[in-house]
Amino acid sequence: MTPKTEADLAEIIRGAEGPLRIEGGGTRPIGAMSNGARLSTAGLSGITLYEPGALTLVAQAGTPLADIEAALDAEGQRLAFEPMDHRGLLDTQGTPTIGGVVAANVSGPRRIQAGACRDFLLGVRFVDGRGQIVKNGGRVMKNVTGYDLVKLMAGSYGTLGVLTEVALKVLPRPRSMGMLRIEGLSDAVAVTALCRALASPYEVTGAVHLQASPEGGPLTMIRLEGFENSVAYRAEALTRLLAEFGTCSFEADPEKTAAAWAHIRDVGPFQGRAGDVWRLSVKPTDAPGIVADLSGGEAFYDWGGGLIWLLAAQGSGLSAAKIRSAVAARGGHATLIRGDRSQGAFHPLPGPVAALQAGLRQKFDPRQILNPGLMATGAAV
């Protein structure tokens, strides 16, 4: 089922006699986490409003992300939350859509500085489980209402309603970018260095540590964006600030910097490699200890250590229970991005939060037909 209009979508949901499996572009298949007849939003496509001067864009949910990025690029603008492309990691052939990005709250390395996808969401239109069309929020920044419901839809994975249209705030693309590189640091020292850089006034927009770089050894990278003179000045200042951690080299080529961070954004280090891939959200200073407890896996750290990407190869002894226990003991949560998700991809919620989630789903989808079995509201963020 691929409806072409919002009204058609509402009619399909109202008439549904069984569960529906919601799909956007098919780049993040939910497989065993849900069941039911496939319902695609790919037919709801097109940019319906773009005002570069107002920094706002409105598009139907099935609009390919590439179309949106092309339109923004032509005006020197971008989606600042840097959404990941999952195809390389998940070995899928679909087309990323803006509705899928919002439904999963997909946010990349720049989240530490700019915010997440939900922070740029101004308004939504969606069809709930009753087949009712719901509009919430606004289409421009000066006319936004119902903000909480708008944010609730980001990361709901289609369990509260099927998105039909989203309104987003966009930002100018920086004139230049570069990155500092420090080689050979241990995980703990690297996270300390990244936290110091992020706490500085030098507007860091990316902070990552690789246990194994493409060259083979540990590599710590710090991204800077803005006007060329500003980037150069801040790189110098950060080099002095981080001198005790080792020799900093500065990569001033914007294209090389962009390629390096696209590799990080799309979890390039784990593409084409066997094993389960986990996304661990933790307190940055706890990250090295958690990885040490999960010996046998390979990790790299994004968001200054607040996000751990973990590769658990077969035979590593890293079961889902062990990983989630290590993360939960320090107040974090673990999401299985690639692997056997038959036992659930999302971290179990505390009882009170689970009750709130169940209540929300009952309100928005009383028949429980939208992505049944997928408990995701807020769990993957």
Q: What is the DSSP letter of 287?
A: H
Q: Residue for token digits 């569960």? A: 19
Q: Residue for token digits 């028949």? A: 367
Local structure of 2: helix, strand or coil: coil
166 membership: H or E segment, kind and range: strand 162-169
pLDDT for 32: 45
DSSP string, 36-62: SEEEE-TTS--EEEEEGGGTEEEEETT
pLDDT tens, per residue, the chain with 381 residues? 888 999 999 999 998 888 888 888 878 766 445 678 888 898 999 999 999 999 999 999 999 999 999 999 999 999 999 999 999 998 888 899 999 999 999 999 999 999 999 999 999 999 999 999 998 877 666 555 555 788 889 988 888 999 999 999 999 999 999 999 999 999 999 999 999 999 999 999 999 999 988 888 999 999 999 999 999 999 999 999 999 999 999 999 999 999 999 999 999 999 999 999 999 999 999 999 999 999 889 999 999 999 999 999 888 889 888 999 999 999 999 999 998 877 778 888 888 988 888 888 889 999 988 888 775 444 433
Distances (CA, A) of 148 to 57, 139, 169, 308: 20, 15, 16, 28
pLDDT for 17: 86
pTM, entire model: 0.90
In sequence order, which residues have a C-beta less than 8 Å from that of residue 251 and are 6 or more positions away? 178, 179, 180, 181, 257, 260
pLDDT for 239: 96
> Rg for the chain (alpha carbons), in Å?
21
Residue 309: phi, psi to the nearest 5? -100, 125
pLDDT for 29: 66
Q: Which residues pair with 338 in a beta bridge?
A: 277
Local structure of 21: helix, strand or coil: strand
pLDDT for 33: 54
